[in-house]
Amino acid sequence: MNKQRFNSVWDAIEDTPGDAAKTLGVTQPRISDLMRGKVDVFSIDTLVNMLAAAEIRLEMRLRKAA
């Protein structure tokens, strides 16, 4: 199996932010928001849908607080 390394997750998805936006089903400015760390402007549904579009599996485990 060949492993590849990328400088950012965006480089792994597509060559440009515009291409990544198309792949994830959002606009390029939304990708820019993510790249700047502005995750608070996204709903959890939008983030999960973008992961699904990128064929990235998300697994969450919830537990009671200590």
Residue 4 lies in a domain: no
Domain harbouring 30, CATH code: 1.10.260.40
Please, are residues 25 and 53 in contact by the beta-carbon 8 Å criterion? yes
Tokens of 36: 């700047």
Residue 45: per-residue pLDDT: 93
Q: How far apart are CA 66 and CA 54, in angstroms?
A: 34
Residue 21 lies in a domain: yes
Residue 29 lies in a domain: yes
Full domain range(s) for residue 31: 10-53
In this prediction the pTM is 0.66
Residue 15: per-residue pLDDT: 73
pLDDT per residue, tens digit, the chain (66 aa), is 677 787 777 677 777 778 888 888 899 899 889 889 999 999 999 998 998 998 888 788 999 998
What is the tally of structural domains in the chain?
1
Residue 3 lies in a domain: no
Tokens of 23: 């792949």
Q: How far is CA 34 from the centre of its chain?
A: 8
Q: How far apart are CA 35 and CA 30, in angstroms?
A: 9
Residue 33 lies in a domain: yes
Q: How far apart are CA 7 and CA 16, in angstroms?
A: 13
